[in-house]
Amino acid sequence: MSNTDGDFLWNFITGVLIGFVLLGAFKLAWFLFRIVWYLTIFLVLSVGAGSVFLVRRTRRRSDANWAGFGEYSPDHARWHQASGESFACDLTDRLYSEVQAARVNMYWRATALSRLFRRGAVDRNRFSAVTQLTSAPPEVVAKVDFGTEARHGITLDHLDPAVASGDPYDLARDRENAKAALGVLDSLMVNKGWERVGRSEEHWYAYQYARPVMTMLPEGEPSDCATQVRDERASEDSRPPTLQS
């Protein structure tokens, strides 16, 4: 082998080694850049979310989900809200609502962390219990948000527990998130005086609820609890005095 061939081979090997080193350095730099980039996005969004929370807390905005909590009287003829208002219940007429689902937007902070681990974006989905009225616009009674990983061609219908064995992807975590959100929504509905009466055949999550039609009582009309206390006091006042020895 001539010196020229030896030099060429040595130069070739040296060039390949330098290429590998440069490629490895580039991959390492890109990996570190991804970490810094997504963690920075997560930090900025966390600060923004915290600021919004503090502003909302300062303004003391009430959450519509918690409005209307209360309990029925023993005969279900009255609905007493935690706010102190009372309603008369028409047991012959009922109001119905059904759970609907929609993709709202994206969980940006969760998406930043998900992309850091080379997973998909995290969609923000919402279950809403919507009244079914023919004489008035629909009204949202309660709503709950939950996250699912964004996948092409996958909808909330694929999270039906009845088709879990045929998942095209691993949807177990998304399915648990959806079931937990339905559980929270059900609790909110029960505390608002609704009861589950069925489910639509169109979607697995489309539970149907019903409650009596309610009419607010005049402000001066006593509730059942107030009437009971008044009667007990009147009964005590009518008792003969007890003689003391």
Do 145 and 51 lie in one domain? The reply is no
pLDDT at 38: 66
pLDDT above 70 (res 8): no
Q: Report residue 179's pLDDT band, with 50, 70 and 90 as the boundaries.
A: very high
- C-alpha distances in Å from residue 221, one per residue of 67, 184, 218, 231: 22, 34, 5, 15
CB 103 within 8 A of CB 124: yes
Do 111 and 189 lie in one domain? The reply is yes
Residue 88 in domain? yes
pLDDT above 90 (res 75): no
Do 125 and 163 lie in one domain? The reply is yes
**Going by DSSP bridges, is the β-strand pair 78-81/122-131 parallel, antiparallel, or unpaired?**
unpaired
The backbone torsions φ and ψ at residue 7, rounded to the nearest 5 degrees and listed phi first, read -65, -40
Overall number of domains in the chain: 2
Give 164-178 pLDDT, tens digit per residue: 887 777 888 899 999
Residue 141 in domain? yes
Residue 16 in domain? yes
Tell which of 61, 82, 100 closes a domain.
61
Give mean pLDDT, residues 209-220: 82
Do 103 and 189 lie in one domain? The reply is yes
Both structure tokens of 148: 């699912």
Do 94 and 161 lie in one domain? The reply is yes
Range of the domain at 185: 70-216
Both structure tokens of 229: 């206390």
Do 146 and 93 lie in one domain? The reply is yes
pLDDT at 231: 43
Identify the DSSP state of 114: H
The pTM is what?
A: 0.64
Do 57 and 74 lie in one domain? The reply is no
